[in-house]
Amino acid sequence: MFGQGFDRLLSSARRGDEAAWTELYLTLAPVLNGYLMGQRCPAPEDVTSETLFQVVRDLHRFEGDEADFRSWVFTIAHHRLIDSRRRAAARPAEAVDVSVLERHARDQSFEDRAIAELGADELEHLLVATTEDQRDVLLLRYVADLTLHEIAEVIGKEYNAVKALHRRAMNALREYVDVTAYPRRARHALTSSG
Which domain CATH number covers 120? Answer: 1.10.10.10
- Which is more confident, 50 or 126? 50
Q: Is the pLDDT of residue 161 over 90?
A: yes
Q: How many domains does the chain have?
A: 2
The reply to whether 163 falls in a domain is yes
Residue 185: predicted pLDDT: 47
Do residues 18 and 56 both lie within one domain?
A: yes
**Whether the Cβ atoms of residue 138 and residue 41 lie closer than 8 Å to each other:** no
Residue 48: predicted pLDDT: 92
The reply to whether 164 falls in a domain is yes
User: Whole-angstrom Cα distance, residue 63 to residue 67?
Assistant: 11
Q: Is the pLDDT of residue 11 over 70?
A: yes
Residue 88: predicted pLDDT: 80
Categorize the per-residue pLDDT at 87 as very low, low, confident or very high, splitting at 50, 70 and 90: confident
Do residues 180 and 118 both lie within one domain?
A: yes
Amino acid at 126: L
Least confident among 26-30, 42-46, 156-160, 187-191: 187-191
Do residues 117 and 183 both lie within one domain?
A: yes
Least confident among 15-19, 20-24, 64-68, 181-185: 181-185
The reply to whether 101 falls in a domain is no
DSSP of 126-181: HHTTS-HHHHHHHHHHHTS---HHHHHHHHT--HHHHHHHHHHHHHHHHHHHHHHH
Domain membership of residue 159 as a residue range: 110-190
Residue 74: predicted pLDDT: 93
Categorize the per-residue pLDDT at 110 as very low, low, confident or very high, splitting at 50, 70 and 90: low
- Which is more confident, 190 or 61? 61
CA 67 to chain centre: 15
Cα dist from 185 to 95, 114, 145, 177, 181, whole Å: 35, 26, 38, 15, 11
The reply to whether 40 falls in a domain is yes
Do residues 135 and 73 both lie within one domain?
A: no
User: Whole-angstrom Cα distance, residue 99 to residue 96?
Assistant: 9
Torsions phi, psi of 143, nearest 5?
A: -95, -50
Cα dist from 10 to 6, 62, 160, 179, whole Å: 6, 10, 31, 47
Work out the average pLDDT over 141-148: 83
CA 119 to chain centre: 14
Q: Is the pLDDT of residue 65 over 70?
A: yes
Mean pLDDT of the chain: 79
**Whether the Cβ atoms of residue 70 and residue 1 lie closer than 8 Å to each other:** yes
The reply to whether 125 falls in a domain is yes
Residue 170: predicted pLDDT: 86
